[in-house]
Structure 1
Amino acid sequence: MFDEKKTFREIELLGGESREIQWKNFSLTVPPTVYPPREDTDLIAGVLEKVTPFGKKRLLEIGSGSGALSILAASLGWEVEACDINPYAVAATRFNALENTFHIASAEGGIGPAKDGFYSQWMKPGSYDLVVWNMPYIPSEEIEEYLGPMEDAALVDTHPSGLLNEFAEMTRRFHLISPTGIALILCREYIGLHRSKDVLLSKGLATQTVSKRTFDDDETIQVLAVWHPFLKSKKQQMHSIPSTNSEMLEGTYKPGDSLRARFQTDGKGRHGRTWDDHLDSFKGSWKLNPNQIPHISSQLQCQVALEIASLLQSMAPKPNVIRVKWPNDLLVRDGESKQWKKAGGILFQSLSRGKEQSLVLGIGINTKTTAEVQGRGSLEEIGIDLDNTELFTLLDTVVSSLFENRSNLTNAPDRNSDLNLKLLLRQCIYRNEKCSVKGVSSEGELQIESERGGFYNISDDLSLLWPHLQPQ
């Protein structure tokens, strides 16, 4: 990556003059090769300012650069530690902190392209309430001209498996945030064909976009909040039960609690349909906060289904093998006929007793292929090998990401956010006209356009036919 010419250039840069800049209310000295505050810094700073210090108020910034975010965090009441793999950034962070009357412990190190010593050199594993990282998010394969090792360390992801993947592994093992902590990371919205979110979800971490910005070239960067899902909630498993949804609605469960069963004798789908059960399928329910009841809509059902579909597609060995049929059915592509087969679905149910209300989310997915249910698909058919326990871990992260409230940053799903419409089944028939799906309205109606140019908003899925859906 770095030849002799680029190394000499780096040495020349180090002899240059430092810059004096003003950022927010802080005066900063930025030496050569040290990352200064930029638009991405402002984006993550805007989120940081909304987080009230909690727990023991311990914060770690990875890749501190000039120290701007660390100094801001200290001014907000956090006890801050910082690290950077660039020794000049470490010195800049220490100097700028003192110049702005703050003490910040700053160490050389961090998550980099290779292990450099022990983690304990630059952090105290698993002890932080908040971890902040403006992550180098430009893949090395997109770089035609490298500047130098220290300059590129703040911009270019040179880790063999990707810095986001390494961060997720460390977080999953409780090496960074405490069990009740949160991480705020700035990264690209997509890494290749897959969402950055799906990298985190696949590691069993809950995540939600809390801020983002799209540039003129359509590149989107985002700040993700990351946490361990439903850590204090009860996760229960039963062998046989009439319905996991009914049990959770009528039982003494708290929001975040979950229940799964090996077999359901009276499972239900939408429109009162019976769920044909077998042992090679996942059946689970999550208790949700009843204050979400007014927000339950076809759009929200579709959003849950699309989040699950996006995660599973990122794990499939082949592209374009998962779709969502509006509003809530998960489909897989048949390898021979190329038609779509239902492999699962999601269902919200609520119950009111006087002033008491309950809300649950039920999810059913076929994990294995079985002859017991003709016309149904499974994850196994598209090369995803998960048992029900592994699938539960993934679904738990999706549900937590959408519905668990963490430090006023992560609330119910943002109903104004863009749905991943690429995964919606597109071709349908309405009133004997061939139509294509264009989107989902904020009220949850399916927006379709006919071949003759007519536009329709559909609220009842029974009024549609799907020509590429295999009969069940």
Structure 2
Amino acid sequence: MDLGERINPITKLQIKEIELRNGERISLKIPRTVYPPREDSFLLKEILENLESGGKAMEIGCGSGILSIILAKNGWFLESCDINPYAIAAAKKNSESASIHERINFREGGLGDEGFAIPQNTKLIFWNLPYLNPPSSDEPRLEWIEEASMSDLGDKGWGHQLADFLEINQENLEPDLLIILLQRKYPISPSTTNYWIELGWSHRIIKSIWIYDEKIEIVAYWKPGQGTSILFLEECQSTMEEVKKLPNIGWQRVSANNQIEGRGRRDSIWISDKKDLTGTWNIRKSILKSIKPGIIQIIVGTRIAGLLEEYCKWPNDICDKNGKKIAGILIEMDNQDECLRIGVGINHARKNIPGVETQGWSEKMPGTTKMNLLKKVDAALSTLFEEHKLLPSNLLSDKIEIESWRGISKLLSRGYSLKISNEKTRVVGINDYGQLITICRGNEVIIEDLNNLNWLF
């Protein structure tokens, strides 16, 4: 297809040169209606240039073709699409100029078109999502081709549409498929990360920048386990013991419908029934080089408390606004094992336990089944700890400690406080061991455990 630049002013070309990290320069010819490389494109370029070759990839909304060309230069084979016919024509010519056209199949079309499909054996899908809010009826509009490349959908964004498509076609996807999306965080876009979380996807924010008054993020999504499923048991003594039997390969976890002898801190008994959620996850001990067990316990509690829309209470409980216990987190490890174990127990409903006021997730989330909640918990832990071969680990200790402190502070901000040995104490922070830093009678006191400690609700 001829770009028609000599006879049609809509396709008037601009020439843009892009330098790759190895110093090679790519010259692009871009018609006016085709989205050119901009700040958001260069953000994606930085990420894609560092991806090792993983086989087959797909780009949705390829525009000038520059991102597909970059990935092809890294050894990938690509299927790349765009609804703009001028974009496809330009991308083909640009790939030919870059001498990489044999690795890329450009085709007209996009998500939502009849016949749209993810090619077999695809390991990576990436998309610079249109993230501008669609114009209202009384606002000026771009031409439809330009509008489609820049504006998101109204009620349900393109990111949500993609998530739905992948859910429907999950059986045809590679288990370790990675999705990389560039999306807008602020102002809130019609395409949100929360939608993927609700569907049980793990996610990792790879990078974010502010472009004027907009915060743009690159977010990676994958399915927890990457093909390794949760081991479900109808009944067991303790999921903590059962998970020890699983291989030390990949993302291993076990959940029981009925746990007979669950345990809490200091070998206390965790009382549960068949409606409760109980499970244990194996986590590689190498994580301890960055994060101490006490912080791991708090960050897990913080993330799960967020799922339940409740509060993380130091050191390992999740409670409602009145201090009633909903869930508990337990970290265990043995010297001879390669993994530490994270045990999670969440009440479905309140229980009659002497000396302990309890509540369950069904009080605030009556429509959430145990299976749906388990998928969300699994994704939350996978987001923190699971490794994906295409992703660098970004589990930075300082960020995790800040988030952990914020999680604990949420409860403290309601006016709750501590008494230690009958002395009222003010909590001012946590250290990198996950211990509480408090002020009592003007002196700093480090709290390591629950001995002589009472929460005042």
* TM-score when normalising by structure 2: 0.82
Contact 1:188 1:221 in 2 (8 A): yes
Give the SS at the match of 2:403.
coil
Q: Structure 1 residues 140 and 426 mapped into 2: Cα distance closer, same or farther (>3 Å)?
A: farther
Q: Which runs of 5+ in 1 are unaligned?
A: 1-12, 314-321, 334-338
| Structure 2 counterpart SS, 1:15 | helix
Q: Deviations over 1:329-381 (max 9, x none)?
A: 22234xxxxx242211222211123xx44321111111234556862111111
- TM alignment of 1:215-294, pairs within 5 A: 215=211, 217=213, 219-233=214-228, 235-249=230-244, 251-255=245-249, 256-294=251-289
Matched, 1:346 2:346: no
Match of residue 360 from structure 2: 378
Q: 1:299 and 2:295 equivalent?
A: yes
Matched, 1:137 2:131: yes
Q: Share of identical aligned residues, percent?
A: 27
1:70 aligns with 68
Deviations 1:209-252 (A, max 9, x none): 222223453x4322122222213435322233232113323x24
How do 1:108-127 residues align onto structure 2 when only pairs under 5 Å count?
108-111=108-111, 115-120=112-117, 123-124=118-119, 126-127=120-121
Measure the CA separation in 2 of the matches of 1:312 and 1:193: 23
1:405 aligns with 2:422: no
Equivalent in the alignment of 2:341 = 360
- For residue 325 of structure 1, what is the aligned residue in structure 2? 313
- Whether 1:107 aligns to 2:103 is no
2: distance between equivalents of 1:276 and 1:456? 33
> Of the candidates 8, 12, 17, which is equivalent to residue 22 of structure 1?
17
Give the drift of 1:73: 0.7
2:32 partner letter: P
Q: What does residue range 378-457 of structure 1 map to in structure 2 within 5 Å?
A: 378-411=360-393, 413-417=395-399, 419=403, 421=406, 424-427=410-413, 428-430=416-418, 432-433=423-424, 435=426, 442-446=432-436
Q: Which residue of 2 aligns with 1:5?
A: none
Moved more, 414-423 or 375-384: 414-423
Number of matched pairs: 429
Q: CA deviation at 1:198?
A: 2.9
Task: Please say which of residues 293-302 and 156-165 is displaced more in the overlay.
Answer: 293-302
Deviation at 1:68, TM superposition (A): 1.3
Using the alignment, how far apart are the partners of 1:116 and 1:323 within structure 2? 44
Q: Does structure 1 retain, via aligned residues, the 8 Å contact 2:311–2:319?
A: yes
Contact 2:15 2:30 in 1 (8 A): yes
> Per-residue displacement from partner, 1:271-292 (whole Å, max 9, x unpaired)?
4433222222111011222323
Measure the CA separation in 2 of the matches of 1:117 and 1:380. 41
Structure with larger RCO (C-alpha < 8 A, sep 6+): 1
Query: Any residues of structure 2 matched to 1:56-95 within 5 Å, and which?
Result: 57-95=55-93
* CA distances 1:78-104 after superposition (whole Å, capped 9, x unpaired): 111211122222222112111211213
Preserved CA contact (<8 Å) 2:133 2:154 = no
The one-letter code of the counterpart of 1:213 is I
Q: Note closer, same or farther for the CA distance 1:50–1:454 as it changes in structure 2 (3 Å cut).
A: farther
Does the Cα contact within 8 Å between 2:425 and 2:438 map onto a contact in 1?
no
RMSD across aligned positions (CA): 3.3
Distance 1:179 1:84, change over 3 A: same
CA distance in 2, matches of 1:110, 1:328: 47
The aligned residue for residue 4 of structure 2 is none
Q: Is the 8 A contact 2:132 2:189 kept in 1?
A: no
1: CA distance between counterparts of 2:212 and 2:324?
A: 39
Question: What letter matches 2:275 in structure 1?
Answer: D
Distance 1:193 1:135 in 2: 10
- Note the C-alpha offset of 1:14: 5.6
CA-CA distance at 1:304 after TM superposition: 1.9
- Assess, with a 3 A threshold, how the Cα gap between structure 1 residues 445 and 31 changes in structure 2: closer, same or farther: farther
> Which residue is 2:5 aligned to?
none
Measured at CA, do residues 51 and 243 of structure 1 come closer, stay the same or move farther in structure 2, by a change above 3 Å? Answer: same
* Aligned-partner Cα distance in 2 for 1:246–1:210: 35
Alpha-carbon distance in 1 for matches of 2:33, 2:443: 57
What letter matches 2:403 in structure 1? L
Distance in 2 (CA, whole Å) between partners of 1:142 and 1:47 is 34
| Equivalent residues of 1:26, 1:100 under 8 A apart | yes
Distance in 1 between the 2:435 and 2:9 partners? 59
Aligned to 1:148: 143
Cα deviation for residue 61 of structure 1 reads 0.6
Q: Measured at CA, do residues 160 and 371 of structure 1 come closer, stay the same or move farther in structure 2, by a change above 3 Å?
A: same
CA shift in 2, pair 1:375/1:141, >3 Å: farther
CA contact 1:405–1:411 (8 Å) conserved in 2: yes
Instruction: Report the more deviating stretch, 286-295 or 59-68.
Output: 286-295
Q: How many angstroms apart in 1 are the aligned matches of 2:385 and 2:190? A: 22
Counterpart amino acid of residue 87 in structure 2: A
Note closer, same or farther for the CA distance 1:457–1:92 as it changes in structure 2 (3 Å cut): farther
Distance 1:463 1:35 in 2: 64
1:106-145 superposed Cα distances (whole Å, 9 cap, x missing partner): 122223xxx332214xx53x53111111112233379965
Which stretch shows the higher mean deviation, 230-239 or 412-421? Answer: 412-421
Contact 1:278–1:372 at 8 Å: present in 2 too?
no
Other-structure match for 2:165: 170
Shift in CA distance, 140/467, structure 1 to aligned 2, threshold 3 Å:
farther
Q: Are residues 221 and 434 of structure 1, via their aligned partners in 2, closer, same or farther at CA, if it must alter by over 3 Å? A: farther
Q: Give distance in 2, aligned partners of 1:195 and 1:159.
A: 9
